[in-house]
Structure 1
Amino acid sequence: MLRLILRRVLLSVPLIFAVSILTFVLQELAPGDTAQTILGDNYTEESYDYLRHRLGLDQPMHERYLDWLAGALRGDLGVSAISGLDVGHQIAARMGVTVSLAVAATTVSAIVGVALGVVSAVRGGLLGRAVDVLSLIGFATPAFWLGLVLVSVFAVEWRILPATGYVPLTTSVGGWLASLVLPVAALTSSAVATIAKQTRDGMLSALSRDFVHTLRANGATEASIIFRHALRNAAIPVVTVIGLLFVGLMTGVVVIEVTFGMPGLGSLALTAITRHDLPMVQGIVIAFTLIVVVGNLLVDLTYGWLNPKARVS
C-alpha cells in the first residue's frame, strides 16, 4: 500500500507543475490588466508604467513564472497584487470552508446514492424506475438554481436554516451543520442520482453472477450476499464514479459558495479573476489541484482496500 501511495504522489508532481504553467499562461492571455485595475480609469502613463514596474509586470513572462515557482517551492505563494495580503494566509483562512463543503457533499452523495442504488437493485420495480427518473432530473437541474429554490423555501419562507454565511466547526458544531445543509443539498442533487444509478447497475450485474447462486445454494443469508459479496463486487465502478464526482464538485463549489455567500476558495477565486490578481489566482488553482490530488489518492487507497491486486499495480 505504501508503494501505491508513493507512486501516486510522484505522478501528481508533474500535474501540479503543468497546472501552474497553464494557469499562468492563460491569465497572461486573458483580457485585463492588474495595473489598470488598481489605478482605475483616470491615470497617467507615468503612473501606469511605474506601477507595472513595481509589480514586476514589465518583466518577461517566463522570468515572472520562474520567480513565482522559486517562491512556491519554498512555501511562499507571494502577495496579492490588489490587496497586498499574503496569498498563503488568505488561502489557509478559507480552505476549511471549501474542504468542508466538498467533503460533506461527497460523503452525503455517496451514502444516499449507494443506499438508493442497493435498495432499487434488490427491490426493483417502481423504485428502480424512480432512480432512473431521479437521475434525469438530477442531471438537468443546475446547482445554483436549486440553491436559490432551497433558500427561498427553507430560509425565507420557513426560516429554519440560514440563507447565507458559514459557521466554523470550532465555533459551533450545530451552526456548522446548519450552514452546510442547503449548500450540500444543492451540490448533491445530480451526484446522488449518478451514484444511485451506477450502484444499481453494478448490483444487478453482481446479483446475476454464478457465485451468488452458489452462495444461496450453500445457505448464505440474503444480507450477507447483498452487503458482503454483491456490493463489494459492485463497489469498484461506484468508487470510480465517486472520485470523478468529487473532482466535478470543485467546479460546483465555486458557484455554490457565491450563491450562499460562503467565504471559501471559490468566492475568493471569482474575485481574484475579475480583478486580474495573478498571484492569488495562481495560489488558489494550486490549492484546488492539491485537493483533487488528495481526493484521487483516497480513491486509489479505497481501490487497494477493495481489491488487493490494485495495491501492486
Structure 2
Amino acid sequence: MTKENFLRLNEELKYAVMKTSARDLTFLTSNIPLLVIYTTNRRLKNTKDIVLKIGKYFSLEGNEFYEAFLNKELKKYFNKKYKKINNNIGEINEDIVNFIKNFSKYIKENPKTNITTILIFILGAYLGSGGVDGDGGIPDLDLEIFGMGDHRSIFTHSIIAGIVIEVLVLFSIITIDMIYDKLPKEHSEIWDLIHEKKDDFLLNFTNGVSVGLAYHFTIDATIDGTGTYKNLPFSAPLEVHQFIMGANAFIEGIDTYYRKFTNSEKFKENINKLSFLQSFYKKVKIFYLNKIGKAKYLTNKTKNN
C-alpha cells in the first residue's frame, strides 16, 4: 500500500467517524465488555467440553477393560482394539486425502481471495508464535512492555493475549459494519473489499494468532520450560509454572480447533454468534432513546408551564 492510499484511507475513516453520532460510538464501545465475556466463555466452554469427552472416553474404556479382565477375555479385548486402531488409521488417511482434494478445490474456486485468506492465517500464526523456534511474537511483547525482568508475563503468556487480540478484531468487524455506510460516496475500493471479506480475513487472522499462541506456549512449557511466570499472585515450583503454561496452550489450541480455520460454513458461524450483541445494541438503544425522549418531553412540558 502506497503512502497516498494510506492517507486516503485515514481521511475517509476520520470522515466516517465524524458522521457517526456520539451516541452510536458510545454504544459501540459498550460492546467491548460483552466481547470479552463472549470470547472468554467460549474458550472455557470448549475446554470443558473436550475434557468431559476425554473423561467419558477413558471411563468407558476402563469399564470395558475391567469387564474383559474379570471375564478373562483380555485377548479378545486387545484384538478388538487393534482392529479399531487399524480402522481409525484408514479413516485418518482418507481424511487427509479428502482434505488435500478440498484444499485444492478451495484454492481453484477463487485463487486471489482464498490464497490471501490463507496468507492472512499464516501471518496471524507467525505473529502469535514468533516463528518455528517459538521466540518472539505477541507473547514476547512483554519484553518491550515490562522489560527483561518481567519476561513471561501472565498477560502475554496466557489465553489473555488471545482474548485481547480476538476482541480487537471482533470490535473492528462491528465498527466496520457501523461506519461503512457513512464513508464518502467516492471512497477507496479497499473499504469495499474490507467490508465484503472482513469475516473471512479478520477471523482467519485471529485463528492464526491462536494457533501461534498455542504453539508458543507449548514450546515454553516443554522445550524452553526452564522459565517461570513473573507476575503470578502466588509462588510455586517450576512444574506448576509449566503446567499453567501447558494448560493455556491446551485451552487456546482446543478453542481454535472448535472455531476452525478454513473458509467453511461452520467457520462463518463464529461471527453470526455475535448477533446477540447487535440485538442487545438495538434494545438498549431503543430504551435509551425512549428515556431521552421522555426526559425532553418532561423538560419542555415544565418550560411551557
TM-score by length of 1: 0.29
Tell me which structure has the larger Cα radius of gyration. 2
Higher relative contact order (CA 8 A, sep 6+): 1
TM-score by length of 2: 0.29
